[in-house]
Amino acid sequence: MSYAKNLSLKPFDIDGLSWPSIGTKQRLNETTEQKNERTHKLAEAVKTILECIGEDPEREGLQKTPHRYAQALMFFSKGYEESIEQIVNGAIFEEDHDEMVIVKDIEVFSLCEHHLVPFTGKISIGYIPNRNVIGLSKIARIAEMFSRRLQVQERLTKQIAVALQEILKPQGVAVVMDASHLCMSMRGVQKPGSSTVTSVMLGVFREQAKTREEFLTLIHN
């Protein structure tokens, strides 16, 4: 599914899953035996990779590497299985507050879907309530959920913003992400130290320059 088509879909399905991948429900509903089979299959694939790069997967230092990496990759991608309803868990409250709420410098870790190498960075999220506010920790957990998938930074930034807009129906949502990509520093142009900044502005943050500037000033102070 293309990036544009993916984001044009409704943010949550009937099970509370947010933009689930094609195998999400199978992975979510599988038995312990099926999970073990999945991990074993993945470990065998890693063993093949080690052989293909010229290594010996049977040498002492690598014997357990395929299984370790299989388990790690399942953790790195656990965001596919998480439900937005379970994360929010009813932590939305009616409050007479109509000023900006910002959670900034949320550290996230993700995998670039083009090269399967990490990118890491910080996300700052702001919204202006329309009578409803959300528990602050839930904002960080929503960012974590979307980052624990194969991602591109542009989509990650937009998914967080659209999800919060759908959950809270606020006056506006703003998300800015600043990240470093190992696919740029370890390969390709090989430019360590470079960073990529993406932003998504919805509602009043998009429509009103003054509101947008206030948010950007606050997150950089």
| CA-to-CA dists, residue 29 to 13, 15, 35, 199, angstroms | 16, 12, 10, 34
Alpha helices in 58-135 (DSSP H): 65-76, 84-88
128 forms beta bridges with 172
Q: Which residues are catalytic?
A: 112-115, 153, 181, 183
Closest CA to 179 of 105, 80, 128, 97: 105
Q: Where are the domains of the chain?
A: 23-80, 91-220
- Which of the 8 DSSP states describes residue 138? H
Cα-Cα-Cα-Cα torsion 58, 63, 65, 68, nearest 10 degrees, comes to: 140
**Residue 219 pLDDT more than 60?**
yes
**Residue 112 pLDDT more than 50?**
yes
Class of domain 23-80: mainly alpha
Q: Token pair 């910080």 is at which residue?
A: 122
**Residue 5 pLDDT more than 70?**
no
Architecture of domain 91-220: 2-Layer Sandwich (3.30)
pTM: 0.90
Per-residue pLDDT of 182-207, as tens digits, reads 888 776 666 777 899 999 999 999 99
